[in-house]
Structure formats: structure tokens, C-alpha cells
Amino acid sequence: MSELPGIVVTGASGRMGRMLVRLVVESAEARLVAALERPGHDWIGQDVGTAMGEAPVGVAVTDDAVEAFARAQAVIDFTAPAATVAFAGLAAQARAVHVIGTTGLSEDDLRRLAAAARHAPIVRAGNMSLGVNLLVQLTRQVAAALDEDWDVEIVEAHHRMKADAPSGTALMLGEAAAEARGVVLSDVADRGRDGITGARNRGHVGFSAIRGGDIVGEHDVIFAGAGERIVLRHVATDRAVFARGALKAALWGQDRKPGEYDMLDVLGLRDG
């Protein structure tokens, strides 16, 4: 039996799912043990490689998460909030690392993930690329250095099919700016301005979302002061950067204690 960590990819038919399947199959550091899809999906029972229109890989698509997770050391999950919460409980029972790239999670969802993390490691991030996580750190540093006379605006752009806004990455950036200023983001966030909104509130963090075409992901953090602006920017042109980060997180999580982690932990960028 291979000693390489066994990986389950959830939502195997999706864009990220397909990319993750390819990445794990090609990896010399991990092995694909299951490709998961929802009950009734027409891929169920097919070899996942064949279902993707490629060469067979010897792993059939399944809808049995319990059986799949029991054979895995890690689960990589870019699905939807309800599915992710359910998978978290099953991954915790299997003591498998749960790598979560799902966005749009509610406060209740996060509480349920925290409960699961008491039994197994969870690595969750709104964005798993190295560049974005460096941008989060830079945002935190700049926000800490500037007072509230500098307005913070976060502008993000994604493809037309993205279902949530602001993006998980935009919220990561907003959290970094808010934390650096010693405030709670939910207390100072301005989203979706429209109509006669009045003057901007001092110290607030603004968000704007653009959706169109096949934009992979673009994020600007604008610090606007009197007479000058600082703009921090990250542009992703290939979503493979997210898949590579997710696999790195799955490997990093092996033998970690139960708990909640993020990509700053994985990349060694955590302060202190």
C-alpha cells in the first residue's frame, strides 16, 4: 500500500474539482483515493479521468462521502457552504485534514466548522495562492501604519459565474485591514453603495464587486488619503494557483493537531 497521503476531491466535476483531480493524479507527493459528487450526478460510477474526457486514472466517481473519507488522509473541498459543513463533520470523524476553499460561509457555518476542528485539522482560506496571502500581510502592515484619515476601499473582479460577493479574498483583505486598526470588520464594512448614500464614514472599509466573462480573480486594496493613494494589487490569471495552494495545505496538514488553520500557517507567514 502506498504511503503517500490519500486525497479526496469533492465536487469533482466543477472547474476547481477537475483541476484538483489532475493535480493530485500528477503529484509525486499524494494519491487520489476518491472523487466525490452529489447523489444523482451523471458521473457517478465512471472513472473520473474518463468522465473529464481524459485518460482513465483508476478512481471511480462516488457519492458515498463516508466511505471515501474513511480511506483518506485529506479532503480538498471547493463546493458550497451547506456541503462543506456536512463534509466537515465527516472529515472530523475520519480524522482527515479538511482543506476548505469554499466561500460564502455564514457565521453559523463557521461555528459548525469550529466544532469539527476540535477533532481534526481544518485549513480554510478565502484564497490559497501565495501572492494573495502576501497581499493580506501587506494590507495589514499598511493599515497599521496609517490612521483613519486614509480611507480603505477593496475592489474585486471575478468571472460571471461566481455566486457570492464580496469574494472570500476581499473579505480576507478587509479583515486584515480592520484587525490592524483594532476594529471588527462587520462594524465598519460598507457594501454595494447605491443611490444617495451621503458622505463616506471615516474609518469604514468599502467593498466593490465586478462580475464578468472569465476573470479568474483580481483584487485591489486602495488606501486613499488627501492628495495621495496607495494601491496594493494582485491579479490571478490561472486558477491552478489555487489548486496548488490547496494541495500544499493538504500535505502540510498531515500530523497536525486538530484546530483551525489558514494559508498564513501553511506558508509560514503567521506573525509571531
Q: What separation in angstroms does the CA of 145 have from each of 115, 180, 185, 205?
A: 35, 9, 18, 16
User: Which residue out of 41, 159, 162, 204 is catalytically annotated?
Assistant: 162
Catalytic residue, from 158, 219, 234, 248: name it. 158
Q: What is the pLDDT of residue 1?
A: 42
CATH dotted code for 6-124+239-266: 3.40.50.720
Domain chopping of the chain, boundaries: 6-124+239-266, 130-236
Is residue 162 among the annotated active site residues? Answer: yes
Specify the pLDDT at position 271.
64
Query: Could you say which residues of the chain have pLDDT below 50?
Result: 1
Entry pTM: 0.81
pLDDT score for 26: 97
pLDDT at residue number 103: 87
Query: 257 catalytic, yes or no?
Result: no
> Half-sphere exposure (CA, 13 Å, Cβ side) for 84?
27
Class of domain 130-236: alpha beta
Give 119-170 as a 3 state SS string.
CCEEEECCCCCHHHHHHHHHHHHHHHHCCCCCEEEEEEEECCCCCCCCCHHH
Same topology for domains 6-124+239-266 and 130-236, yes or no?
no
